[in-house]
Structure 1
Amino acid sequence: MTTSAPAVPRIPEAVHRRRWAILGVLMLSLLIIVLDNSILNVAVKTISTPAPTGLGATQSELEWAINAYTLVFAGLLFSAGLLGDRLGRKRVLLGGLVVFGIGSALAAFAGSPGELIGFRAVMGLGAAFVMPATLAVLMNVFERDEQPKAIGIWAGGVGLAIAIGPITGGVLLDHFWWGSVFLINVPIVLLALALMIWLVPDSRDPNPGRIDPIGVTLSVVGLVLLVYGIIRGGELADFTDVTVLSAIGAGLAVLIAFVVFEKRSDHPSIDVTYFRDKVFSSAIAAIALVFFALMGVTFFSVFYTQSVRGYSPLETGLLLLPLAVAQLVFAPRARLLVDRFGNRATTTAGMALIAATLAAFATLDADTPIWILEVIFFLMGTGMAHIMTPVSVVIMQALPREKAGSASALSNTFRQVGGALGIAVLGSVLSTSYRSAIEGDLTALPPELRHTAGESIESTLAVAARLGPEGKPLIAQANDSFLHAMHVTALGGAAVALIGAVVVALFLPGRAEDPS
């Protein structure tokens, strides 16, 4: 009987027989990692509400609650993979789940936005060790001819989590306090740990690479400084402020140092020579841009549906369902369009559709029929499905087969970083635009309330509630200001998506028979 990979020892036949059960356990581990972020998206409004209902988090703190997880996760993916190769993937996977579970329990009982941000970073640390290990274990359980099918099911877990996450979060918030969206992870982690100890075999690379602590540190520090500068600019409504420019400049400088170091290192976390291939680079850019759009639009759409339209968290989760359903339906079928029209045409059309749906958000107001929003979400999911499938194939084919693991890791990293920057950039644009629009309506407020009321629509509504009947006019002004800010933000996101469409149209390959 053939082995699943030439360099990997043959696994016991008993393990091979239960490979689909093992895949189920790996899917469970992946599910909680992805589901946690989609749950949090519908909880941001509740968390921004003052105590005791929420934590009274500002928009910047909400962005950091999401970005702390994503940046730690993305920054450590490569080192986590290397450590799994050295120590054993099962051992690292178990350790990652334990850390993720502990972080989830601590986040559930956080007493302040700062504590929540810190505990979210702990969760990101655990998740970084789970994601690469699940795929590595999968590759050592399935024979080569079954690996594509298994990987397809593994990847489908992301769409499943996107679909059920907001609904689960909505149900929990309707019946429990905000911390329940994190505490729900703990029993799932315990179940995954028990099943993993029982079913999942261990494996390791017989010739593992060395850990790259300097490279990892540079990448994490650079990304954190860059995103902090963007968020701070939104807070101050001034991107020319010296602290903003200093943070962004320092972040870019550290990231440049990271690239230089990785290029010279004999054991880099990221082999930067991969990016000399224009096809590979454009495909990576497409993944980053599509998640930039997804995470950014989900962030501000939650405030639109809950704050402006008055829907509950559960109803908001259900409103997001068409986006996830479209991905689940069309992602497995996107290859049919690729076979007929080629990667370039399919992905460019998907990017153009994303741009169009983002621009459509600029037409929404406080009484737009809700079915229009549902159509926009469905079309957005359709566009994403026809981007992710073809570019993933391009990335895996652009590099030699022995580099497939590195290609997959790069894809995951840029997906996470793209999502983080989407929240930071579009969130900062939203914050800046909102403050500029609402400032003129806050002049009648006491000086100590003006700055607070201008932080976000939730802050304005909280101040209006404190003022009682006198604050009623402020509610309508807050809604109008938010709609203006959302329109500006949506058009900015649409412009970024159009840039992505141009990039893939220029550099992705066409049909197989097309020599260009």
Structure 2
Amino acid sequence: MSTAVTAGASGAPRRVPATVHRRRWAILGVLIFALLVVVLDNSILNVAMKTIASPAPIGLGASQSDLEWAINSYTLVFAGLLFTSGLLGDRLGRKKVLLAGMVVFGGGSLLSAVAGSPGQLITFRAVMGLGGALVMPATLAIIMNVFERDEQPKAIGVWAGAVGLAIAIGPITGGLLLQHFWWGSVFLVNLPIVLVALVGMVLLIPDSRDPNPGRLDPVGVLLSVIGLVLLIYGIIKGGQLADFTDPAAWGTVAGGLAVLAAFVLYERRAEHPALDVTWFRNPRFSASVAVIGLVFFALMGVTFFGAFYLQSVRGYSALKAGALLLPLAVAQMAFAPRARLVVDRYGVRATCAGGMALVALAFLGYLTLDTTTPIWVLEVIGFVMGTGMAHVMPPVTVTIMSALPREKAGSGSAINNTFRQVGGSLGVAVLGAMLSAAYRNGMSDHLSAVPPALRGPAGESIEATLGVARQLGPRGAALVDPAKESFVHAMHIVAGTSAGVILLGAVVALVLFPGRLPVPDAVGAQPEAEPEAAPAETA
């Protein structure tokens, strides 16, 4: 007779019911659908911005501020509620939270597609952020509960590869949709994916939760939400103003940090804390979340200027610019699922540090780009960056999740995603402000021939400069080449800074990461969650 707990390849007892274990890869496929729709939507939206800014009936006539908040309203809600949604999954059941998140995300997508004004779009994007916050932690937490420890690195590698795929195919999908349909199609395309995912989730995914969640901690949850929302809002505001010395930026950031400090102090004294702050005493856990933040700080900042380089400097359409991201995605898809083999041979420390060195090399590769560099150089840079990321994200994620008990997988996944989101938002804001300042300095000597009323707007960004150049007709032609050269110079400054941030992350990995992750023993180094009941099988 075989039971739901059997011996694995390593000799340790299996903790996943046999009926769940048999369908684990199908479950992963369904989770990837959920992941794709969340990540895909954000990358698609970037392509649709110019169309949404067009006057009705082509677009909504959204202003630059409207467009920024269409992105930021999602980010604000998503990042602010990630930790809380992870706690809900651990307490109420991850399948229930995942299903709720997909329904909310699908509803927000439908409403966004039919929005009649920029204000409505901003509101409905916030609804989508709520859905995304419920979905993201649950996907990784479920993976940790349907795969045994020996297969988790491979599963997380596939999960990470799917993120790279979504980032790459988003702009291509958006470009194709906008060629044939109205702007709302970039949101409506989510609905078929959501429906397929919901059916698969209901049929295949087991529920799991923390069997001993303790009492509720409403004060801790409230402090975490307020602190994260204030922090992210301040970061976004500083990026919009390109000035973090403005009280609206630094004051809000300081307020968010103060509330988060109060949250940590409260959690240290709480009898049933929402977050066990002692987790951060584990060097591999705290180092891993720090590396996640540093990597996404650099990566999102460079992603921000990459789109402008391809479209504004090199003149590629949105569709072609999206296609040029494929080498990055192909590298992640090819290497992320196999990163565990490198970890098995060389260890976590060497693999992650080596991966970050490759990413830093790719950032330094941007320094070779100018306005006429052969485009294959950028393709090589993208492939190198994707290869490096594929050897960073899966092992770092495994390191974070394996440092925690299985029943806390939702909270661990939420912390992982929160640090990634905060790091990415900070990267876009800080590196974006750095890019804007360097660009304005580069253009300051070329605007004397521009009418005084247009000099301010002409120096704000490369898109603004090119817009003024078109408005001035033949007189504006003299602005085009300086605008492109100034942007490339600003891009080099940001790329060099990003390389330095990534190398700092590599140093953290070399100093604090373990050579190899500890192997769970037969007694159970990782406590068992409470998967959906499955009867024991009999021969």
Counting only pairs closer than 5 Å after superposition, residues 79-228 of structure 1 correspond to structure 2 as 79-110=84-115, 114-137=119-142, 150-228=155-233
State the SS of the aligned residue for 2:194. Answer: helix
Q: Which residue of 1 aligns with 2:297?
A: 292
Which residue is equivalent to 2:354? Answer: 349
Shift of 1:370: 0.4
The answer as to 2:459 corresponding to 1:458 is no
Equivalence for 1:488: 493
Tell me the SS of whatever aligns to 2:271: coil
Q: Which residue of 2 aligns with 1:2?
A: 3
Q: Give 1:70 shift.
A: 3.3
Counterparts of 1:351 and 1:19, CA distance in 2: 31
Residue 322 of structure 1 and its aligned partner are, at CA, apart by 0.8
Judged with a 3 Å threshold, the aligned counterparts in structure 2 of structure 1 residues 431 and 388 are, in CA distance, closer, same or farther, namely same
1:396 to 395, 398, 401: 401
RMSD, aligned CA = 3.4
Residues 145 and 343 (structure 1), Cα distance of their counterparts in 2 relative to 1, 3 Å cut = closer
Encode CA deviations 1:67-112: one digit per residue, 9 max, x unaligned: 4323422332332233334444433322211211122223334455
**Whole-angstrom distance in 1 between the partners of 2:5 and 2:68:** 42
Aligned match for 1:415, one of 414, 420, 423 = 420
Indicate if the aligned counterparts of 1:231 and 1:428 stay in contact, CA closer than 8 A. no
User: How far apart, in 2, do the equivalents of 1:453 and 1:213 lie?
Assistant: 49
Q: Is the 8 A contact 2:98 2:138 kept in 1?
A: yes
After superposition, give the CA deviation of every residue in 1:462-491 in whole Å (9 maximum; x if it has no partner): 232233333222223322222222122212
Partner of 1:366: 371
Amino acid at match of 1:257: A
- Following superposition, the deviation at residue 422 of structure 1 comes to 1.9
Give the structure 1 partner of residue 515 of structure 2: 510
Contact 2:100/2:131 (8 A) holds in 1: yes
Aligned-partner SS, 1:426? helix
Distance 1:235 1:405, change over 3 A: closer
Give SS of 1:310's match. Answer: coil
**Unmatched tracts of structure 2, length 5 or more:** 7-13, 519-539
* Counterparts in 2 of 1:150 and 1:238: CA distance versus 1, 3 Å: closer
Q: Give the 3-state SS of the residue equivalent to 2:392 in structure 1.
A: helix
In the alignment, is the contact (CA less than 8 A) between 2:76 and 2:233 conserved in 1? no
Q: CA 1:394–1:148 in 2, change beyond 3 Å: closer, same or farther?
A: closer
User: Cα distance 1:216–1:371, how it changes in 2: closer, same or farther (>3 A)?
Assistant: farther
Range that drifts further, 308-317 or 40-49: 40-49
Deviates more, 1:502-511 or 1:392-401: 392-401
Q: Distance in 1 between matches of 2:492 and 2:121?
A: 30
Query: How big is each residue's C-alpha offset from its partner over 1:420-464, in whole Å with a ceiling of 9 and x where there is no partner?
Result: 222222222222322333344344444443333333222222232
1:463–1:471 CA contact under 8 A, matched in 2:
yes
In structure 2, what is the Cα distance between the partners aligned to 1:148 and 1:233?
37
Q: 1:39 to 1:396 in 2, by over 3 A?
A: same
Q: How many residues align?
A: 511
- Deviations along 1:5-57, whole A, 9 cap, x unmatched? 9xx999795x7765554443332222211222232344445556676665676
Q: Secondary structure at the match of 2:315?
A: coil
1:257 to 254, 262, 268: 262
Select which of 372, 377, 383 maps to 2:382: 377
Q: Is the 8 A contact 2:354 2:388 kept in 1?
A: yes
Q: Per the alignment, do residues 301 and 399 of structure 1 end up closer, same or farther by CA in structure 2, a change over 3 Å counting?
A: same
Q: Does the aligned pair in 2 maintain the 1:71–1:220 contact within 8 Å?
A: no
1:384 positional shift:
1.0
> 2:342, 2:207 → 1: CA distance?
39
- Could you tell me which of 431, 448, 451 is aligned with 2:436? 431
Higher helix share: 1
Alpha-carbon distance, 1:405 to partner:
4.7
Asked whether the equivalents of residues 343 and 509 of structure 1 are also in contact (C-alpha less than 8 Å), the reply is: yes
> What is the deviation of 1:402?
5.5
With structure 2 as the length reference, what TM-score do the two structures score?
Answer: 0.83
